[in-house]
Amino acid sequence: MKEQTGSLVYALYASSSSSRPMVYFNTRPSTNRHRYLSGPAALPPNTWSHLAATYDGATLRLYVNGAQVSSQSHTGAIITSTSALRIGGDAVWG
């Protein structure tokens, strides 16, 4: 997760409330304008999986093990932040 004060700039999760991988990004500072995209299925347990996401200003894409599994149209620039980039935890949600 790339942080901003009180929220995220972008984040990539292996599991979400829906038990599927999910990517988020934010297009407005401080207003929590989150855009997100989830994968179609949960990742297999006890197996390494490679997750990646891209955004080109028009389309958000999620990849699992090198294969695109989801995409969605979005517009707007991802905000910038000088806050921490954290792996495996964050200071936003505790």
Evaluated on CA atoms 10, 11, 16, 17, the torsion sign reads negative
In this predicted model, which residue has the larger pLDDT, 63 or 27? Answer: 63
Give pLDDT, residue 52.
Answer: 96
Average pLDDT, the chain: 87
Percent of the chain with pLDDT over 90: 43
46 band by pLDDT with thresholds 50, 70 and 90: very high
Radius of gyration of the chain (CA): 13
Q: Phi, psi (5° rounding) for residue 35?
A: -115, 145
Q: How does DSSP classify residue 41?
A: S
Residues 6+ apart with CB under 8 A from 59: 71, 72, 73, 74
* 5 pLDDT higher than 90: no
In this predicted model, which residue has the larger pLDDT, 5 or 46? Answer: 46
**Average pLDDT estimate for 61-75:** 95
Can you tell me which residue has the tokens 């304008």?
A: 33
- Would you say 66 and 49 are in contact if contact means Cβ atoms under 8 Å apart? no
Give pLDDT, residue 73.
Answer: 94
